[in-house]
Amino acid sequence: MTTTLEVRALGPEDRPWVREVVARDWGSPLVISPGGLRDVSGLPGFVAINQTERVGLVTYEIDRHDCEVS
């Protein structure tokens, strides 16, 4: 069976879900990075959707010439 995923940019409607996923999987939506403490639930990113279920998440932050992926 072939699974087709939809990938789209995170929107405001995704923010509660992002916060929940990051807190569940990492223990907190706050993550320590080289740039300091970050709330990754507010960063831009993408969500992968299988049918109607969100199944994947990536957030990122671009700072000049650097890009950090969470």
Number of structural domains the chain divides into: 1
Tokens 């650097």 found at: 66
37: nearest Cα among 66, 16, 57, 61 = 61
Tell me, yes or no, whether 41 lies in a domain: yes
pLDDT of 22-67, one tens digit each? 999 888 888 887 777 888 889 999 999 999 999 999 999 888 888 8
Tell me, yes or no, whether 52 lies in a domain: yes
Tell me, yes or no, whether 7 lies in a domain: no
pTM above 0.85, yes or no: no
Tell me, yes or no, whether 3 lies in a domain: no
Cβ(18)–Cβ(58) under 8 Å?
A: no
Tell me, yes or no, whether 4 lies in a domain: no
Domain range spanning residue 62? 23-69
